[in-house]
Amino acid sequence: MKMKYKIISTLFISCFLLLLASGCGDENDSVVVIPSVSSSLLTVKPITIGDPIDIALTIYHNKNSEVVFPNESDSFLPFTLRTMDIKQKKIKGKSYKTMVFYTVTLFQTGKYLLHPIEVRVGDTALKTEPIEIAILSVIPKNEDNPDLKDIVPPYPARANPVTVAIILLSIMGGAAIIYVLLRIFKKKKGKKQGHTYTETAIDPFQYSMNELNIIKTAYENNKKNAKQTYSGVSFILKFFLGNALKIDALQMTTREFRRHVRKADKVPIQSYKRHPGFDHHN
């Protein structure tokens, strides 16, 4: 009888402990809305520039629901996504909990908002609440509540005599080098042999006779008409008399040229020998 009583008592206590254990599970998992999403900041220590910042994204969903969550750095601006880890857990029946652990970082100081993370569970669009994160540049020592500090405190600029001397010497040295190079290039340029142009004196009589022979030959071969022949002879006549009278006959009108020719008896005219190759009868 006693043995039977002990067995019944043991079974009763075991059942009670099992019920108690099942009822003392994860309270958060026992009362959840499906689907739902939330986020939390896991990093609790003061965060400075470039420190890793851990963020947890918790998604509750059914087993067969398609879950879509951010996996690109653009979704976390101004923060930069460094790593991402995914873990899934069955909570009860067909309900599951997907945990996404993000590690982000930021290289600016100040208080920044991690914008709501958008998640899609099946056809339902969800998003988290924004999280404010303070990025410190310097953590003051022996201070319980650190505040934002400047990276470098302002201080008056000081001129270092050695630095100033080095800068001045560098400028003077550069100027001296440029001056020497310019002198060398100028010397080399001056040594280059270019074309030499010389003026050759023209014998007015010889030139005129040669041109008249050319006009005469062209007229005889019907290569020049009477008008072209007259213009050529007129040009040669002005050229020859202009040189003889020391006037610029080519630039004068007919009236001006006639006026100078009438005064020719007052000006000594250089005499030229008759060219043997020119026939006046032609």
Measured in whole angstroms, the distance separating CA 91 from the mean position of its chain's CA atoms is 55
Q: CB atoms < 10 A from the CB of 84, how many? A: 15
CB 52 within 8 A of CB 85: no
Which of 158-162, 213-217, 278-282 is the least confident region? Answer: 278-282
What is the domain count for the chain? 2
Mean pLDDT of the chain: 75
CB 41 within 8 A of CB 55: yes
**Phi/psi at 151 (5° precision):** -65, -45
**Phi/psi at 48 (5° precision):** -110, 180
**Closest by CA position to 101, among listed 88, 112, 90:** 88
Q: Does residue 10 fall inside a structural domain? A: no
Q: Does residue 47 fall inside a structural domain? A: yes
Please provide the DSSP assignment of 28-63 as one string: HHHS--SSEEEEEE---S-EETT--EEEEEEEEEET
Query: What sign does the dihedral 268-270-276-278 (CA atoms) show?
Result: negative
Which of 101-105, 232-236, 263-267 is the least confident region? Answer: 263-267
Q: What pLDDT, on a 0 to 100 scale, did the predictor assign at position 114?
A: 92
pLDDT band of residue 76 (cuts 50, 70, 90) is very high
Q: Does residue 99 fall inside a structural domain? A: yes
CB 53 within 8 A of CB 103: yes
For residues 30 and 23, give the distance between their C-alpha atoms in angstroms, rounded to a whole number: 9
Which residues 6+ apart lie within 8 Å of 257 measured at CB? 238, 241, 249
Q: What percent of the chain has pLDDT over 90?
A: 24
What's 108's domain CATH number?
Answer: 2.60.40.10
Range 145-156 average pLDDT: 55
Termini Cα distance of the chain: 173
Q: What pLDDT, on a 0 to 100 scale, did the predictor assign at position 18?
A: 47
Range 174-198 average pLDDT: 74
DSSP code for 280: T
Q: CB atoms < 10 A from the CB of 44, how many? A: 7
DSSP code for 158: -
Last residue of a domain, one of 80, 106, 136: 136
Last residue of a domain, one of 105, 136, 167: 136
Higher pLDDT, 159 or 102: 102
Range 100-106 average pLDDT: 95
Q: Does residue 161 fall inside a structural domain? A: no
pLDDT band of residue 272 (cuts 50, 70, 90) is very low
Higher pLDDT, 156 or 226: 226
Higher pLDDT, 115 or 224: 115
Asked if residue 122 and residue 218 are part of one domain, the reply reads no
Q: Which structural domain, as residue segments, surrounds residue 250?
A: 204-266
Q: What pLDDT, on a 0 to 100 scale, did the predictor assign at position 240?
A: 76
Q: Does residue 157 fall inside a structural domain? A: no
Higher pLDDT, 63 or 12: 63
Q: What pLDDT, on a 0 to 100 scale, did the predictor assign at position 279?
A: 45
Last residue of a domain, one of 117, 136, 155: 136
Asked if residue 129 and residue 208 are part of one domain, the reply reads no
**Closest by CA position to 216, among listed 232, 234, 235, 238:** 232
**pLDDT surpasses 50 at 275:** no
**Tens-digit pLDDT profile for residues 249-258:** 666 776 776 7
CB 121 within 8 A of CB 96: no
**Phi/psi at 112 (5° precision):** -125, 150
Q: What pLDDT, on a 0 to 100 scale, did the predictor assign at position 211?
A: 83
| 3-state DSSP assignment of residue 175 | helix
Q: Does residue 53 fall inside a structural domain? A: yes
CB 58 within 8 A of CB 93: no
Q: Does residue 59 fall inside a structural domain? A: yes
